[in-house]
Amino acid sequence: MSSTTHAPVAGSDRVASEAARRRTFAIISHPDAGKTTLTEKLLLYSGAVAEAGAVKARSGRREVTSDWMDLERRRGISVSSTALRFEHRDVVFNLLDTPGHRDFSEDTLRVLAAADCAVILLDAARGVEAQTLKLFEVARARGIPLITFVNKYDRPGMEPLELIDHVEQTLGLSAVPISWPVGIPGDFRGVLDRDGGRFVRFTRTARGATMAPEQELSAQLARDEEGDAWTAAVEELELLHAAGAAWDRARFAGGELTPVLFGSALSNFGVRHLLDTLIELAPPPAGRVDADGGVRALQAPFSALVFKVQANMDPRHRDRIAFMRICSGRFERGMRALNARTGRPIALAYAHELFGQDRTVVDDAYPGDVIGIVNATDVLVGDTLYVDEPVRFGAIPTLAPEHFVTVQNRDPSRSKQFRRGLQQLDQEGVVHVLRRGDDPAPILAAVGPLQFDVAVERLQGEFGVSVGLDARDWSLARRVSPDDAAAVRASRWAELLTRADGTQLAVFRHRYSLEQLERDLPDVALDAMTAR
């Protein structure tokens, strides 16, 4: 199914030039590190909003673009992901939101399948927190370029050299600052350009509502005006030049080296620099590897990968949206594509891009863009849609669940809704729904227990089903092939659960049981990453 040798289709020059000016990225961070603020400021600098506050209401409510569930608002975390499109310096950015909690790492994994680059956003005082390390590991495993933005530098925090060391130690990446803060954390004055020796001085604006004026000073003038703060920054940078990792574009492209920027999203410091860095360093969309190892070239006919399906996102629009990243060709509203999994056609009539709660109808879109297809009933996460030349992209990985519960429907008169609700949540990847043999009670499995809260809330809110959960004591799962299933089932160390798509998972109470099984059945392949 490889299309490496296809003849370019009409308009392919346009596709190539539009793809070249796209940057599709995600921001990964711990809750409270400032992702919402930074997103808002990126929009401010790109001119997509005139004044900061349009995305996140300043009333104190956490009215965030992607907070479309009450649960998210109550917990103050973002559960779902969304995509924002905006332009800066003639570059079209697609910003994919990811949830900031390890319990939703699988969602992050799906989003990253659609991104070409990720921004790791850190709070200068807290650095990489244990709870979110898993999210970063997921980003690291994807092998895409990572850019680190150290936020909240306007407040007391770690010293910059300490931060660089911390990033290297915790993330296992080489960290190379491309700018260096002048002024101690809490008295942030601006940044020193790593190579050019220029100083960019920032000036605060009231509440950071408008862009921060930036003034460029020569080294001489900076020394005169900033005194010790300037000298300290220059000395630290010299130290890093001598002892730190050197910039290496290939290592950056492979996700082994991360450039580091310092800033303050709240005060707008360093926001423009981040946008410019994304333009200069983040890769534009490239041909995508398909399931057979071929490459779907950008100029090939339309193809897209579905990385998220979400139903009932907005109470004003009860529907089911399939989010897809365009991988090749040009999308035109009304076009008909085929679903590689089912072989069935799908009319892409109502494609939307989302901006906060608002939807805009998309007439055309190019590789790197993310569009949401409304009422895509027969579409699942991981599906490939294509036109003309068949292609199927590789499955999106999922993580092995670590938490399990049995779920009971409390109201027998709503068993149909119960079944439908579970199917919906399984298809969206909110939780995995599993069965054990002939046992009718479904088992929910998740990477983190917050996923169960979302499932319960959605079953109640969208399907009118009240459920009870009973915790099970398994804590590990491994995928087993159908050939090995009988041997695993017969073993005393594991139990076997089955997902609706036929995937079989061996579940274990302790690591000890897993190790025993590995010893007893050395030929059985146990896979920690499953696929959807």
Residue of 207, 204, 216, 217 lying closest to 269 (CA atoms): 204
Beta strands 257-262 and 146-151: pairing type? parallel
Residue 28 vs 232, nearer CB to ligand G4P: 28
Residue 33 vs 514, nearer CB to ligand G4P: 33
Which three-class secondary structure state does DSSP give residue 72? Answer: helix
Tokens of 507: 């579940």
- Residue 405: is it exposed, middle or buried by C-beta count within 10 angstroms (0-12/13-18/19+)? buried
Contacts of 242 (CB under 8 A, 6+ apart): none
For the bound state, the minimum distance from the C-beta of residue 321 to ligand G4P, rounded and expressed in Å, comes to 22
Beta strands in 340-475 (DSSP E): 345-348, 351-355, 358-361, 364-365, 370-374, 384-386, 397-399, 403-409, 432-435, 443-446, 467-471
Residue 152 vs 352, nearer CB to ligand G4P: 152
For the bound state, the minimum distance from the C-beta of residue 132 to ligand G4P, rounded and expressed in Å, comes to 10
For the bound state, the minimum distance from the C-beta of residue 39 to ligand G4P, rounded and expressed in Å, comes to 8
Which three-class secondary structure state does DSSP give residue 308? Answer: strand
Residue of 520, 530, 449, 522 lying closest to 497 (CA atoms): 530
Distance CA 189, CA 184 (A): 8
For the bound state, the minimum distance from the C-beta of residue 263 to ligand G4P, rounded and expressed in Å, comes to 7
Residue 125 vs 291, nearer CB to ligand G4P: 125
Distance CA 76, CA 233 (A): 37
Residue 27 vs 113, nearer CB to ligand G4P: 27
Residue 29 vs 339, nearer CB to ligand G4P: 29
For the bound state, the minimum distance from the C-beta of residue 193 to ligand G4P, rounded and expressed in Å, comes to 21
Query: Which parts of this chain interact with ligand G4P (CB under 6 A)?
Result: 29, 31-37, 60, 100, 151-152, 154-155, 264-266
For the bound state, the minimum distance from the C-beta of residue 208 to ligand G4P, rounded and expressed in Å, comes to 8
Contact 436, 495 (CB under 8 A): yes
DSSP of 11-24: THHHHHHHHHTEEE
For the bound state, the minimum distance from the C-beta of residue 31 to ligand G4P, rounded and expressed in Å, comes to 4
Residue 205 vs 466, nearer CB to ligand G4P: 205
Residue 180 vs 493, nearer CB to ligand G4P: 180
For the bound state, the minimum distance from the C-beta of residue 254 to ligand G4P, rounded and expressed in Å, comes to 27
